[in-house]
């Protein structure tokens, strides 16, 4: 029986712990540093995800068989390299391979070099050159900070005035701090977005079922971009041909490209795609599972996560299976998010546990459970139909709703509208 260590503290990590805890091959799941609601499925260990020495020492002491890292920050900082140096088994990309997420310029240059479909773009390292280029473009136009910005480093400008203002803020006013000293300006893509996760080991690429996130803060895709406000899986109205195209034209070629470049990818690779009139285009890569998409995709996955990872690590072909049910989840976020948000919202009466409720940003205090993050809870449900799953999920949301928390009420409506047409 195996011991697993999950690194991270959000809803994705709660879902990972939940999924590992279901495995007949796993008898203990630890999570570092976890949050206030994960002890239903894991032992919470108080070690910071960036304290690599502390995590390595813990993994050795507890004889951890597999470490799985949720968030991008430790991956981009080289946690995998540090564990491998100590001969500890970890499933995640190296620091070099994590650049696919850590640097938008790197990802775009790789896509251009290997002819992988993506939005037309140019990268810039100084404001004046960027501005000169920008004024020659048409709107809407997309500005992206080069570095990590927790899903918030993207501006979609509808007018040139807005684009110029954002460019100045991003490159000169430190709005995104170090993340935007370099930036990508790219063509605006129109279409339907989907997220595809794959287990990758060098040239081996095994996809999961696709999901759809909802990036904007409010209903009808209004408000600022966030880390994601809700998700569902599968996405029945998108054709299988789009998923095949994403695999054949993007996921497999980028995995081969990384091998050719001497930085083979090992871990979960997330492709963010837009299905446009000209076919599937890549919006971004992430070097990890998406949050909140993984909360629904991991519930839908009927095969064993631990066994799947072990098989991928051994270059065996895993059989990855999914339920016939549809899964949906709604993020309950703290007022103000994604900007500065309210904290310490009382949640001490919360009764729901995983998988109905994954904790995204909560902590335990002497007075009980309170919110501690911008995204607080992920409330989810699965059912035979999406309509039923949505009703069930929102019934749960309504039981929990309270002052200080907001949520979108239209998660999955795009799909439901297509079903009724
Ligand atoms: P990213 O951080 O690259 O995932 O971007 C965040 C979100 O911005 C994406 O999920 C899209 O909704 C949107 N976005 C990014 N790039 C583009 C683009 N070129 N065209 C249209 N929307 C985009
Ligand atoms: N849900 C989007 C992300 O994880 O980046």
Residue 357, H or E segment: strand 357-359
Give residue limits of the domains in the chain. Answer: 2-94, 126-181, 192-313, 326-420
For ligand 2, the distance from its centroid to the CA atom of residue 288, given in whole angstroms, is: 9
Q: How many CB atoms lie within 10 A of CB 386?
A: 23
Question: Among 199, 197, 202, which Cα is nearest to 264's?
Answer: 202
For ligand 1, the distance from its centroid to the CA atom of residue 231, given in whole angstroms, is: 16
**C-alpha–C-alpha distance, residues 6 and 283, integer Å:** 28
Q: For position 180, what pLDDT does the model report?
A: 57
Q: How far is CA 102 from CA 24, 108, 300, 383, in A?
A: 35, 12, 28, 36
Q: If DSSP codes are grouped into helix, strand and coil, which group holds residue 122? A: strand
Question: Among 258, 308, 314, 252, which Cα is nearest to 98's?
Answer: 258
Ligand 2 atom nearest residue 289's Cα: 4
Domain 2-94 belongs to what architecture?
A: 3-Layer(aba) Sandwich (3.40)
For ligand 2, the distance from its centroid to the CA atom of residue 135, given in whole angstroms, is: 30
Is the distance from CB of 354 to CB of 296 less than 8 angstroms?
no
- Give the position of tokens 């100045």: 168
**Best probe residue, ligand 2, of 227, 230, 231, 283 (max atoms within 8 Å of C-beta):** 227
Cβ neighbours of residue 158 closer than 8 Å, sequence gap 6 or more: 139, 140
**C-alpha–C-alpha distance, residues 112 and 258, integer Å:** 13
Rg of the chain on CA atoms, in Å: 21
Is the distance from CB of 189 to CB of 274 less than 8 angstroms?
yes
For ligand 2, the distance from its centroid to the CA atom of residue 260, given in whole angstroms, is: 27
Report phi then psi at 191, rounded to 5: 155, -160
DSSP string, 30-98: EEEE--TTGGGTSEEE---TT-HHHHHHHHHHTT-SEEEE-SHHHHHTTHHHHHHHTT--EES--TTTT
Q: For position 297, what pLDDT does the model report?
A: 98
Per-block mean pLDDT, blocks of 10 residues, the chain (421 long): 97 98 98 95 98 98 98 98 98 98 92 97 91 95 82 84 92 65 91 97 98 96 93 96 98 98 98 97 97 98 98 98 98 96 97 97 96 98 98 98 98 88 64
Out of 3.40.50.300, 3.30.1490.20, 3.40.30.10, 3.40.920.10, select the CATH number for domain 126-181: 3.30.1490.20
**C-alpha–C-alpha distance, residues 320 and 301, integer Å:** 7
Report phi then psi at 124, rounded to 5: -135, 150
Q: Which fold has domain 326-420?
A: 3.90.600
**Best probe residue, ligand 2, of 13, 289, 292 (max atoms within 8 Å of C-beta):** 292
Is the distance from CB of 243 to CB of 196 less than 8 angstroms?
yes
Ligand 2 atom nearest residue 228's Cα: 1
State the DSSP code for 4.
E
The pair of three-digit structure tokens given for residue 259, joined into one six-digit string: 């091998």
Residue 145, H or E segment: strand 141-145
pTM above 0.85, yes or no: yes
The pair of three-digit structure tokens given for residue 183, joined into one six-digit string: 């930036």
Q: For position 359, what pLDDT does the model report?
A: 98
Nearest ligand to the CA of 12 is: 2
Cβ neighbours of residue 253 closer than 8 Å, sequence gap 6 or more: 114, 115, 116
**CATH class of domain segment(s) 192-313:** alpha beta
The pair of three-digit structure tokens given for residue 218, joined into one six-digit string: 């409010």
**C-alpha–C-alpha distance, residues 291 and 15, integer Å:** 10
For ligand 2, the distance from its centroid to the CA atom of residue 94, given in whole angstroms, is: 20
């Amino acid at each position: 029986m195996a011991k697993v260590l999950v690194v991270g503290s959000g809803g994705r990590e709660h879902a990972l712990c939940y999924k590992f805890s279901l495995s007949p091959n796993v008898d203990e799941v630890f999570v570092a540093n976890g949050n206030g609601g994960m002890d239903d499925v894991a032992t919470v260990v108080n070690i910071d995800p960036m304290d690599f020495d502390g995590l390595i020492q813990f993994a050795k002491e507890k004889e951890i068989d597999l470490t799985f890292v949720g968030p991008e920050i430790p991956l981009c900082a080289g946690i995998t390299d540090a564990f491998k140096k100590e001969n500890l088994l970890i499933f995640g990309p190296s620091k070099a391979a994590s650049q696919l997420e850590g640097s938008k310029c790197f990802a775009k240059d790789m896509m251009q070099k290997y002819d992988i479909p993506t939005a037309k773009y140019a990268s810039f390292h100084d404001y004046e050159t960027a501005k000169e280029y920008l004024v020659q473009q048409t709107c809407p136009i997309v500005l992206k900070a080069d570095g990590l910005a927790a899903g918030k480093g993207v501006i979609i400008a509808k007018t040139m005035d807005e684009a110029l203002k954002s460019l100045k803020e991003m490159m000169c006013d430190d709005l995104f701090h170090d993340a935007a000293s370099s930036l990508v300006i790219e063509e605006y893509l129109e279409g339907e977005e989907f997220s595809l996760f794959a287990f990758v080991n060098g040239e081996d690429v095994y996809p999961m079922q696709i999901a759809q996130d909802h990036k904007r803060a409010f209903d009808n895709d209004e408000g600022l971009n966030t880390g994601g406000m809700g998700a569902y899986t599968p996405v029945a109205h998108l054709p299988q041909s789009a998923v095949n195209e994403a695999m054949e034209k993007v996921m497999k070629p980028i995995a081969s490209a990384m091998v050719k470049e001497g930085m083979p990818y090992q871990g979960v690779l997330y492709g963010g795609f837009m299905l446009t009139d000209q076919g599937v285009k890549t919006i971004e890569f992430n070097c990890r599972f998406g949050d909140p998409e993984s909360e629904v995709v991991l519930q839908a996955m009927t095969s064993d996560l631990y066994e799947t990872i072990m098989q991928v690590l051994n270059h065996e072909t895993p059989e990855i299976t999914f339920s016939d049910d549809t899964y949906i989840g709604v993020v309950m976020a703290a007022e103000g998010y994604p900007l500065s948000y309210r904290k310490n919202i009382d949640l001490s009466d919360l009764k729901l546990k995983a998988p109905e409720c994954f904790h995204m940003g909560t902590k335990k205090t002497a007075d009980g459970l309170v919110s501690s993050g911008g995204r607080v809870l992920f409330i989810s449900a699965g059912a035979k139909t999406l309509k039923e799953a949505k009703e069930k999920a929102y019934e749960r949301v309504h039981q929990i709703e309270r002052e200080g928390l907001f949520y979108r009420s239209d998660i999955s409506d795009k799909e439901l509208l297509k079903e009724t047409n």
